[in-house]
Structure 1
Amino acid sequence: MPEVKVRKTLVQVETIFHEGGPAPETPARRAAAMAVIENPYAGQYVENILPFMKDLEPLAAEMARMCIDALGGDADIVEGYGKGAVTGVNGEIEHGALWHVPGGYAMRDSIRKSLAIVPSTKKVGAAGTRIDIPVTHTNASYVRTHYDAIEVGIPDAPRPNEILLVLVMTTGGRIHARVGGLTRDAIKGEDGLR
């Protein structure tokens, strides 16, 4: 199996005090952990790429911890999450899809009980490509207050033979959410949906 070669990591933290309306009692926080790795499959077609998912697990666990630490170190305050990848132009979108399993399970394993699927996105792009990482509630995908996205990117990544991997976590929903629907206090927590 290929060794995971990390060129750099970056943690982005956003604290939202208000969105033009009344300030919440506690500001919302959103963290993104990013890692730029060498793409072992760049420039070639490899049929069996599945083993690399297992290799990504330690990095995914480290990145989940980076998000939690950036939010203050308490995993119990995490309410939203998402993941994504940008594959450099010598790779293919399927190489970014290798992040689905290790990235998602690393976050789910590092926070309190979570039932909801971890939303994801991926694309192929040049260095500096930005990507919107979708965010939903960790325990119920239909909680509208937590439908969100976090835009991330690194100016010099991914280079053609690299992949930019991203995990995001939030401490709550949108500051002034008021479009109705299921709220976090009404979650049943049975199936990851409601």
Structure 2
Amino acid sequence: MSENYSLDDYEIRSWHTQTVEVTELAGRKLDDPLVKAAVAVVIRNPFASQPFQEDLSALTAPSGVLAHELGTRAKALLGGREVEGYGKGGIAGTAGEQEHVVACVTTIFGNGFRDAIGGGAAWISSFTKVASAGTSIDIPLAFKDEVFVRDYYDGITLHIDEGPKPDELVICVAVSSGPRAQARVGGITKEEALAKLAK
């Protein structure tokens, strides 16, 4: 995360959180609750209603700082549990482009997010779109150290009533404390993935 940037490099309008705690599914109690959390920030889009811009670095360059703050807030929502799954995403208001959201969640953003939540070896599942205020977004989740561990394929839905307005961007991250509740479709296990990484 670059020390040359701060949250002041964005015009932040609001912060939003969503938390889900699953304790039982299909009539079976979970040994440990599954906690999933999402945090979003609504920022002004400096490129909204502007002619096509080739250079979107004003959004990309400071994004590690934004991601670190989002990740810190998201991890706190797990109530002391470790982050095992993660994802990211965003919505551009209708006066912007999908590319404006993507510019905010590139590798710089991913590195800042990993920094805040305790690392992660896997690429971060992502979803972005253009939509009007009040549109929900499903943020995908996958195991943070190996994307092919099927048990962690999951997601959390985030809904912001008043955003994004046409000139805004919603930038969000999601974390989970473990695999899907009652996951049982097979594939590589978390333990096998970690053993492979350790070699």
**What TM-score, normalized by structure 1, do the two folds share?**
0.91
Q: CA deviation at 1:190?
A: 5.2
Q: Is the 8 A contact 1:115 1:189 kept in 2?
A: no
Which residue of the partner structure matches residue 3 of structure 1?
9
**Higher mean displacement: 29-38 or 179-188:** 179-188
RMSD, aligned α-carbons: 1.8
In 2: Cα distance, 1:62 partner to 1:38 partner: 17
Give the match's secondary structure for 2:151: helix
Aligned ranges 1:1-194 → 2 under 5 Å: 3-44=9-50, 45-73=52-80, 77-101=82-106, 102-188=108-194
User: Is the CA contact 2:127–2:140 (under 8 Å) kept in the aligned structure 1?
Assistant: yes
- Output one character per residue of 1:46-80: Cα deviation in whole Å (capped at 9) or x when no partner: 11112321222222111100001111245xx1100
More strand by share: 2
CA deviation vs aligned residue, 1:98-120 (integer Å, no higher than 9, x gap): 12224322221123342100010
SS in 2 for 1:149: strand
C-alpha change, 1:95 and 1:180, in structure 2 (3 Å) is: same
Deviates more, 1:80-89 or 1:43-52: 43-52
Normalised by the size of structure 2, how large is the TM-score? 0.89
Separation in structure 1 between the aligned mates of residue 59 and residue 98 of structure 2, nearest angstrom:
15
Structure 2 CA distance, aligned partners of 1:189 and 1:121? 29
Contact 1:32 1:166 (8 Å CA) reproduced: yes
Aligned length: 189
Identity %: 33
Alignment-mate amino acid for residue 167 of structure 1? V
Alpha carbons of 1:9 and 1:187: their partners in 2 closer, same or farther (altered >3 Å)?
Answer: same
Check conservation: 1:14, 1:30, Cα contact below 8 A: yes
Letter matched to residue 56 of structure 1: S
